[in-house]
Structure 1
Amino acid sequence: MIGKVLRGKRVQGLIRYLYGPGRHGEHHDPRIVAGFRSPVELEPGSQADGSRDFRRLDGLLTQPLALLGERNYRKPVWHVSVRAAPEDPILSDGQWADVAREMVSRTGLAREGDEDAVRWIAVRHADDHIHIVATLARADGTRPEVWNDGYRIRDACREMERRFGLRSTAPADRTAARRPKRAENEKAARVGRGDSARGVLRRHVAVAAAGARTEAEFFAALAAEGVLIRQRCSTRSAGQVTGFAVALADDTAASGGPVWFGGGKLAADLTLPRLRRRWAPDASSRPPSGPPLSARTARAIVRTAVRRAADETGTITEFFRQLQQQGLLVRPRYSKVDPEEITGYAVAHPAAEEPVWYSGGQLADDLTLPRLRRRWNNPADNASPVDELTPEERQAFYDDAVRAATYATSHVRRYLATNPYAAEDACWAASDALCVAAKVTGNRHLRRAADAYDRAARAPYGRIPRPSPAGNALRTTARLLTLAGVQDRVTLSILVLASRLITLLETIAQIRMLQQRPAQADAARDAHRHLERARTAADRHHGVRRDGPPERPQAQLASLDFPGVGALSGSSTPVSTPPAGPRSPTPRRHSP
């Protein structure tokens, strides 16, 4: 059962719509099943011509609004549509009346025994849903509080599911992204956009956040995609950015200006404060980032970072500071004649197997300190060349990304038997890897997997998980894929990466079931099915055949060492401790 809260200005028009035929003739036998008085007393009478007379009902509902006068809400009509699932049994008028009373009671609008409560009615004009209408004015001349009423409606729906044996739905734990409104979907259909503006912007922001290490990189990535950005500054501290909003250039309002969405209107974890915690966790508590990078990858990352810092700074002090902010190790070289004069520098990547120091000249001819100083002094005469990755470097990035994903999966598996709640950071960071992989490959199956996984990623109520080695490894995967850039959507590198992510999502789905979060487990399984399609398409392109019975999911193979884990996880194939001796392969049961 789901309930959707709407607000309006005029109750008269809403009542006439509920008693009318509907937009597509879907309204049949409209009637009041509950209200602030008995349904028989509130039901509109019939006129001589057979039409309904709504004047008395209009007056009863709007009368308390006159007591508030200018203190009224701007939209004083509270409207909730409550709908059961198609497979649920049809509820009687009495049962729907219980549902309506539970809704207005939980929200505090009309608790049992409150004689000064708001005036409300519940109209039923179909088998599977009702509409609750209330005017936000109490009989004692005060305004009712409706803050967070959507979450109270969700709790009431779950209570009704338990009472009447209806299909169970997810709690309002804020793990789902903000859904587009109906007007947004209709607008997207009119202009021929496949997704609503809110959905497109959420995807852009998620990809930019996953591939960035700093706030500046985040906003630069959004601007490169053509996204309009509006930063919100503090009213107390001049120049301090406290939030942001984004818009599409071709998505305009009736006034002609762009339609802006703040980060929190896209998803709970996309506000600027939460993004900042993602990019700059406490360095003293930051765990290892995962397996060390190969020497080729580390050198390419260092060269790219040095060139970017040289382009964005103008002095040696700013240059060194930005390199350190990007997490690189910096070692200046001083003159033997003048100990205070800096004549060169060397940089190293801390995640390499062994930190290897590179001087500016070893990275590129134009990155020596004398050349950089000439460029800073005469920027017009010394334009920086574009730094392109070689095919070998790009392949090294993908190889290291696969290694990091494999490392993360092995760490996440341990939580199946120890503490599934310790995997929150890895579940969250897996979304980064999926979003960036979909972006750089353009693979439609990967994009659908990233969209489907979205809900499975977040911790409840917008909490930011503590960093973990598995989570940092997956964030490394996302950043390496970002640096590698666009890749052929059916290359063997993508095939290998998709296989590693399939194994990861199998494990995460079991972890979400162990955490008793079925909606998030379903999202992880949906993403897993899309990744399976991506791997099948790549197999077909490369002529790869997978003969014989499918292998057992890797997450279940990992569970064989821990008795009882498979049964707790809700898997369709129970897992138990095998007898002594070699293990025999067991065919996997595919989800329908």
Structure 2
Amino acid sequence: MITRVHRRGSQVGGLLRYLWGPGKAEEHVNPRLVAAWDGAGRLIDLEPKVTAGGKQDFRALTALLEQPVRAGYRPPNKFVWHASMRLAPEDRRRTISESTWASMAVQMLTEVGIATTATDPGLRWIAMRHAADHVHIVATLVREDGRTNWMRNDYPRCVKATYNVACRYNLHRRVPPADRTAHRRPHPVEVSKALRTGRAQTPRDELRRRVRTAVAAAGSEEEFFARLREAGVLVRLRRSSTDPRQITGYAVALPGAGTAGRQPVYFGGGKLAPDMTLPKLRLRWGTPTLLPAAPTPGRIERIEAMRQAATVATAAADDIRRDACTEPGRAQATAVAAADLLTSLAYAMEGDRRGPLHRAAEVFDRAARDLYGRVHRSTSRSQEMRAMSRLVALMGRISGNDDAIAALALVMDLARLADTLEQLRRAQQRLHQADTARTAAKALRLVAGGSQPTVTLPPTVTPTSAPTVGGGRRAARGR
């Protein structure tokens, strides 16, 4: 179930006429009230009356809903709040009665702050149903005592309240509230430009991938900036206004992906992902550590590096299970370091091509992030994992059968770690991340089992999900 909050308006009567009307495609069938504000009286008395001409008269219901607005002190111009609660397709097989819909609507509105008891002079609202799978809610945003309820942040509050209702009524589809762990989606203008220029990804997506690879292979900011420049990324450093020697931030750009005047377009780290700002990266790296002098990378050295990383990954999964309840911060730091190891492994196996292992690494990175971009201090285990990540990056590309077999064994160990991460996220009630962890584990097992080759053909132009690929533009009318 999901609740959609529609645009606010100023015409109660017009909205009621639409809801009780036939709809745009005759989809409104048997419209009727299922709930109303406390103190409204019987629902049958609130229903629009049918006139002698066969039309419905909405004036009485409109007047009741608008009465607090007319008597309020400086009411807002757009005082009509409209939302709809809709079932998911897998829940539409259930027959939900009118009383159940009323209870679900009241519980959601009570948690949001619209529905109140008779002792609290709250808002006036109604819930009506004209289809089997959803109800509409109309409220006026002026309370009975004349004060305005501005309903700030109403959408995230409705999502959270609807999720709680879906859990209480045991619905199959439950959409949890946003956790701010997803990266920023490219703007439709960026997507349209990428399609016009024939790019496989938008510059924002490409920069995020390159920056993530550099973060996973670096142990300090100096090494991080050096790896970005080696990857062909333009780097612009932001220095402190009081101490020019101190670096406070960075921005990156792709050569050749600039404006019409051929000026590069820079993106700050926070515009790429919530945990890619320089202060958070410093906390993520911890105390800079130097890797021991490594011999010239060869097949034997690569195999040994993969085996060491697999041993550490297995120990990290055990640590996450042990620290999940007692020390969640340590488990979180270990999960982020595991994402770095998978990112380095993806680059070692697929190079610059965005194959299935790269996509699995991106999904795993989403599952490993903390809420709202928070970063925990590094631990001994996370430092060990990050050392393995740097070692895998130092070993270079996978080139033979023997080191490829060792790398695929490491992929399987990381799939088991993703299973552990899914269990952790479900225990934390962070279901978006639990789903992405399960998706990452499934993708890693496909790669480890050979069902999906790690190096694919050059990707097609699919920089983001379908709703934004078209750029958000309307089709031109035929003349």
TM-score range, shorter chain: 0.5 to 0.7
Deviation at 1:105, TM superposition (A): 1.1
2:283 to 274, 277, 280: 277
Deviation at 1:500, TM superposition (A): 1.0
Match of 2:87 in 1: 84
Deviation at 1:541, TM superposition (A): 9.4
In 1, distance between residues paired with 2:233 and 2:18? 39
Does residue 419 of the first structure (1) align with residue 323 of the second (2)?
Answer: yes
Closer, same or farther: CA 211–417 of 1 in aligned 2, 3 Å: closer
Match of 1:410 in 2: 314
Match of 2:358 in 1: 447
In 2, distance between residues paired with 1:233 and 1:43? 66
Match of 2:473 in 1: none
Does residue 122 of the first structure (1) align with residue 120 of the second (2)?
Answer: no
Closer, same or farther: CA 117–508 of 1 in aligned 2, 3 Å: same
In 2, distance between residues paired with 1:223 and 1:68? 60
Does residue 101 of the first structure (1) align with residue 106 of the second (2)?
Answer: yes
Superimposed CA distance per residue, residues 383-426 of structure 1 (whole angstroms, 9 cap, x where no aligned partner): xxxxxxx9x54868855762453243232243377433443222
**1:197 and 1:251 in contact (8 A); partners too:** no
1:470 to 343, 356, 381: 381
**2:320 and 2:421 in contact (8 A); partners too:** yes
Letter in structure 1 aligned against 2:419 = A
Closer, same or farther: CA 43–411 of 1 in aligned 2, 3 Å: same
SS of 1:111's equivalent? coil
Closer, same or farther: CA 204–10 of 1 in aligned 2, 3 Å: farther
In 1, distance between residues paired with 2:454 and 2:422? 33
Deviation at 1:98, TM superposition (A): 1.3
In 2, distance between residues paired with 1:498 and 1:186? 34
TM-score by length of 1: 0.55
Match of 1:2 in 2: 2
Deviation at 1:34, TM superposition (A): 2.5
**1:409 and 1:503 in contact (8 A); partners too:** yes
Does residue 457 of the first structure (1) align with residue 368 of the second (2)?
Answer: yes
Closer, same or farther: CA 107–224 of 1 in aligned 2, 3 Å: farther
Deviation at 1:144, TM superposition (A): 2.8
Unaligned 5+ runs, structure 2: 456-479
**1:490 and 1:538 in contact (8 A); partners too:** no
Does residue 505 of the first structure (1) align with residue 445 of the second (2)?
Answer: no
SS of 2:114's equivalent? coil
SS of 1:174's equivalent? coil
Does residue 525 of the first structure (1) align with residue 438 of the second (2)?
Answer: yes
Superimposed CA distance per residue, residues 365-400 of structure 1 (whole angstroms, 9 cap, x where no aligned partner): xxxxxxxxxxxxxxxxxxxxxxxxx9x548688557
Deviation at 1:100, TM superposition (A): 1.4
Closer, same or farther: CA 538–244 of 1 in aligned 2, 3 Å: same
Match of 1:431 in 2: 339
Deviation at 1:431, TM superposition (A): 2.4
- Which structure has the larger Rg? 1
**1:401 and 1:476 in contact (8 A); partners too:** no
Superimposed CA distance per residue, residues 58-82 of structure 1 (whole angstroms, 9 cap, x where no aligned partner): 666566567464x849x76544443
In 1, distance between residues paired with 2:235 and 2:142? 39
Superimposed CA distance per residue, residues 530-563 of structure 1 (whole angstroms, 9 cap, x where no aligned partner): 1222234489899xxxxxxxxxxxxxxxxxxxxx
Closer, same or farther: CA 116–512 of 1 in aligned 2, 3 Å: same
In 2, distance between residues paired with 1:178 and 1:5? 23
Closer, same or farther: CA 166–410 of 1 in aligned 2, 3 Å: same
Letter in structure 1 aligned against 2:291 = A
**What pairs up with 1:546-585 in 2 under 5 angstroms?**
none
Match of 1:516 in 2: 427
Match of 1:110 in 2: 115
Closer, same or farther: CA 22–351 of 1 in aligned 2, 3 Å: farther
Number of equivalenced pairs:
432
SS of 1:419's equivalent? helix
SS of 1:144's equivalent? coil
Match of 1:567 in 2: none
Superimposed CA distance per residue, residues 294-328 of structure 1 (whole angstroms, 9 cap, x where no aligned partner): xxxxxxxxxxxxxxxxxxxxxxxxxxxxxxxxx47
**What pairs up with 1:328-343 in 2 under 5 angstroms?**
none
SS of 2:89's equivalent? coil
Letter in structure 1 aligned against 2:85 = V
Letter in structure 2 aligned against 1:351 = L
TM-score by length of 2: 0.65
In 2, distance between residues paired with 1:184 and 1:54? 43
Superimposed CA distance per residue, residues 412-454 of structure 1 (whole angstroms, 9 cap, x where no aligned partner): 2433774334432222222233345445622532133234434
**2:422 and 2:438 in contact (8 A); partners too:** no
Superimposed CA distance per residue, residues 484-535 of structure 1 (whole angstroms, 9 cap, x where no aligned partner): 77x4799764553343132133144235426625734443332122122223
In 2, distance between residues paired with 1:187 and 1:14? 35
Relative contact order higher in (CA < 8 Å, ≥ 6 apart): 2
**2:32 and 2:47 in contact (8 A); partners too:** yes
In 2, distance between residues paired with 1:245 and 1:468? 28
SS of 2:448's equivalent? helix
Deviation at 1:466, TM superposition (A): 3.8
Superimposed CA distance per residue, residues 449-484 of structure 1 (whole angstroms, 9 cap, x where no aligned partner): 234434431345654334233323333444456667
In 2, distance between residues paired with 1:108 and 1:83? 20
Deviation at 1:106, TM superposition (A): 0.9
Unaligned 5+ runs, structure 1: 253-257, 284-326, 329-349, 357-389, 543-592
In 2, distance between residues paired with 1:124 and 1:243? 53
**1:180 and 1:196 in contact (8 A); partners too:** no
Closer, same or farther: CA 395–113 of 1 in aligned 2, 3 Å: farther
**What pairs up with 1:2-151 in 2 under 5 angstroms?**
2-5=2-5, 7-8=7-8, 28-36=29-37, 37=40, 39-40=43-44, 42-44=46-48, 67=72, 69=74, 72=76, 78-88=81-91, 89-113=94-118, 115-144=120-149, 146=151, 149-150=154-155
**2:121 and 2:144 in contact (8 A); partners too:** yes
In 2, distance between residues paired with 1:185 and 1:39? 50
Deviation at 1:206, TM superposition (A): 4.5
Closer, same or farther: CA 221–413 of 1 in aligned 2, 3 Å: closer
Match of 1:359 in 2: none
Superimposed CA distance per residue, residues 227-266 of structure 1 (whole angstroms, 9 cap, x where no aligned partner): 99999999x97989888899999899xxxxx999987787
**1:188 and 1:194 in contact (8 A); partners too:** no
**1:449 and 1:527 in contact (8 A); partners too:** yes
In 1, distance between residues paired with 2:65 and 2:30? 22
**1:7 and 1:76 in contact (8 A); partners too:** no
**Which deviates the most, 451-460 or 527-536?**
451-460
Deviation at 1:10, TM superposition (A): 5.2
SS of 1:34's equivalent? strand
In 2, distance between residues paired with 1:142 and 1:40? 29
Deviation at 1:92, TM superposition (A): 1.7
In 1, distance between residues paired with 2:56 and 2:267? 42
**2:257 and 2:265 in contact (8 A); partners too:** no
